A and B are shown apart, each in its own frame.
Chain A
Amino acid sequence: MAVMLKDTTLEKIRRAMKCYPDKRSACMSALRIAQLDDPENRLTEQAFRHIADLLDMTPVSLHEMAKFYTMYNLEPVGKYHIQVCANISCSLLGAEHIIRHIERILNIKVGETTQDNKFTLSTVECLGSCGTAPMMQINQEYYEDLTEDKVGSILDSLE
């Protein structure tokens, strides 16, 4: 195997395997852990092969999982992945303006990454934060009750 997962990543995956009576059930955790530990925040071919080996699965069956569940990234994602909710409650309170505003600030469209690989912008379905709409998630953090001004200062604050 060319590039192995790091020992610390493997350790986390082995811990996740203890939660289930069979190996396969740990595949979602394993993919999540590998992605979070990846410098480009994505799943690489090496990761698929290594996890498949660990869980007695085939790389293609792990690919099937990663294609089905939308939070797994198969392409590199910027250092900050901005995901703006575009569902009903956020739309009613101006999600569209927030999205357009971010596009203007970063000079990219939804689905794109800035040239310096710092930001990727996506829209997502409901994130369960409708009482504090409009909202977005950046990496694992929620930002709520957004206004255009607030979005500007949030993006400014990210190193």
Chain B
Amino acid sequence: MFEEILIKNIKVPESHRIVSYLRNGGYTALPEALKHSGETIIQMVKDSGLRGRGGAGFPTGLKWSFIPKDPTLQKYLCCNADEGEPGTFKDREIIEKDPHLLLEGMTIASYAIGASKAYIYIRGEFEFGAGRLEGAIQEAYDKGFLGKKILGSGFDLDIYVHRGYGAYICGEETALLESIEGYRGQPRIKPPFPALKGLYKKPTVINNVETLSCVPAIISKGPGWFSKIGPEKSPGPKLFCISGHVNRPGVYELPMGTPLRDIIYDHAGGIRGGRKVKAVIPGGVSAPMLTVKDIDIAMDFDSLAAKGSMLGSGAVVVMDDTTCIVKIAYIVNKFFSHESCGKCTPCREGTTWLTKVLKRLEYGEGREGDLELLDSLCGNIFGRTFCPLGDGAVMALRGAMKNFRDEFEYHAKNKTCMV
């Protein structure tokens, strides 16, 4: 029987309050962690096999181990709560309903890497969530879980909330750092990586909300417990957010590797009106879409990568057989061009052109050669940009055009939609 750890607390009333969290066994992993050295905690997280839940799936313990051990250096932890990948609404669940789970995870992570200051970068639209976090932080200070000499140890930590104000790109980790420092959120060139030169040029770890929220259970239940859930190479529980044409959209905590079919039909109650699945975006709009023939795929990092797509943020967007893929491609691409930060030319100009061509295809003004033009634009963006935003735009479009090229051709030739 699979045991929830990430959303187990959210169903009780006042779940965001520290009294509820304590009643449910919260803040027991932190004193346990403080008994060990930071290095031991890092090793435990490595042994658990936890991989980043923001989208890239980088091994979390390994990321922490890159932080220099020099105790005289100021270090930072940044929690990426800039949830913005279309289709994604999982971190919001934790932020609004169980903020102490995140704070406990952040405190353990900060202890492990030796950070005495931590920031939560939350998107500006999450006003309610930011209020919940600020309230929870105050409660944690009052109870001695934050501040000086936490729980009588020698460890100090302050956590601050930094609000974004409307820029998807700030979910990219170096853009996020720029934004905290009071600059436009434009990605930095890497190397140097944030582990060596991050926030204020100091060693910094940036982790997603869900990633950090896995940490308390790894400490209290043990890395072995965590690593036995799901596939060996990407273990653990995972929050899947399912939206679109399903009967029961929502956030579901399931073992990594759960088949896509089970997520759609068992958990989300199947397709509205008993219709058929046409396409599924498995991991937020940057992830290339799958078709109904891939519906039995295991939802984990490696299985999806092997299919040429990605798990991304675990945002599953389901489209039924009434969906026009050209229209979806246009909406998705318009998003990327709107959110391009403008720093590098291939992304700034390329996504703008893609949107222009997709718009005319969608509105019945397509021209001969438009599909080839899209292909060539994709080739001039992919792999040539500073950060993954441009790549994401291309992967999304290529996924749509690979699986549904006939629909794009139909739009170009007949100036209308075949659906």
Q: Which residues of A contact B (CB under 8 A)?
A: 19-22, 24-29, 31-32, 55, 57, 64-65, 68-72, 86-89, 91-93, 125-133, 137, 140-142
Residue picked from A25, A29, A137, most chain B C-beta under 10 Å: A25
Are B182 and A126 in contact (CB-based, < 8 A)? no
A-facing residues in B236-284 (Cβ within 8 Å): 241-245, 249-251, 281
Are A125 and B128 in contact (CB-based, < 8 A)? no
Are B251 and A69 in contact (CB-based, < 8 A)? no
Q: Beyond the given A93-B244, A125-B86, please list 14 additional residue pairs across the A-B interface where CB-CB is below 8 A.
A: A22-B182, A24-B182, A31-B165, A32-B165, A57-B182, A69-B165, A70-B167, A71-B124, A88-B87, A92-B319, A126-B85, A130-B87, A130-B89, A130-B241
Residue picked from B83, B162, B245, B323, most chain A C-beta under 10 Å: B162
Residue picked from A20, A27, A93, A132, most chain B C-beta under 10 Å: A20
A126 vs B230: C-alpha distance when bound (angstroms): 30
A75 vs B250: C-alpha distance when bound (angstroms): 36
* A-B pairs with beta carbons under 8 A, tally: 133
Question: Contacts of B162 on A, CB cut-off 8 Å?
Answer: 19, 28-29
Are B323 and A128 in contact (CB-based, < 8 A)? no
Question: Contacts of A87 on B, CB cut-off 8 Å?
Answer: 86, 331, 335
Are B125 and A29 in contact (CB-based, < 8 A)? no
Closest to A85 in B: B86
Residues of B in contact with A, size category? 35 or more
A93 vs B331: C-alpha distance when bound (angstroms): 14
Are B332 and A88 in contact (CB-based, < 8 A)? yes
Are B127 and A130 in contact (CB-based, < 8 A)? no
Asked whether B315 is an interface residue with its Cβ less than 8 Å from the other chain, the reply is yes
A140 vs B163: C-alpha distance when bound (angstroms): 13
Asked whether B180 is an interface residue with its Cβ less than 8 Å from the other chain, the reply is yes
Question: Contacts of A24 on B, CB cut-off 8 Å?
Answer: 181-182
Q: Interface 1/0s, chain B 180-205, versus A by CB < 8 A?
A: 11111100000000000000100000
Question: Contacts of A127 on B, CB cut-off 8 Å?
Answer: 125
Provide 29 A-B residue pairs closer than 8 Å at the C-beta atoms, listed in order of the A residue. Answer: A19-B160, A24-B182, A28-B162, A28-B163, A28-B182, A65-B182, A65-B183, A65-B184, A68-B167, A69-B165, A69-B166, A86-B331, A88-B86, A88-B317, A89-B317, A92-B245, A92-B323, A125-B168, A125-B339, A126-B335, A128-B83, A128-B123, A130-B86, A130-B87, A130-B243, A130-B244, A131-B241, A140-B127, A141-B128
Closest to A125 in B: B335
Are A126 and B338 in contact (CB-based, < 8 A)? no
Question: Contacts of B339 on A, CB cut-off 8 Å?
Answer: 125
Q: With A93-B244, A133-B243 as given contacts, are A25 and B88 in contact (CB-CB < 8 Å)? A: no
Question: Contacts of A128 on B, CB cut-off 8 Å?
Answer: 83-84, 88-89, 91-92, 123, 125-126
Residue of B83, B163, B185, B315 touching A32 (CB-CB under 8 A): B163
Are B335 and A92 in contact (CB-based, < 8 A)? no
Q: With A21-B200, A92-B319 as given contacts, are A28 and B165 in contact (CB-CB < 8 Å)? A: yes
Asked whether B179 is an interface residue with its Cβ less than 8 Å from the other chain, the reply is yes
Question: Contacts of A72 on B, CB cut-off 8 Å?
Answer: 165-166
Give chain B nearest CB distance to A42 CB in angstroms: 13
Asked whether B328 is an interface residue with its Cβ less than 8 Å from the other chain, the reply is yes
Are B244 and A92 in contact (CB-based, < 8 A)? yes
Question: Contacts of B84 on A, CB cut-off 8 Å?
Answer: 125-126, 128
Give chain A nearest CB distance to B37 CB in angstroms: 27
Asked whether B108 is an interface residue with its Cβ less than 8 Å from the other chain, the reply is no
A155 vs B183: C-alpha distance when bound (angstroms): 37
Residue of B128, B163, B179, B249 touching A130 (CB-CB under 8 A): B249
Give chain A nearest CB distance to B84 CB in angstroms: 6
Closest to A35 in B: B165
Are B251 and A131 in contact (CB-based, < 8 A)? yes
Question: Contacts of A29 on B, CB cut-off 8 Å?
Answer: 162-163
A-facing residues in B89-122 (Cβ within 8 Å): 89, 91-92
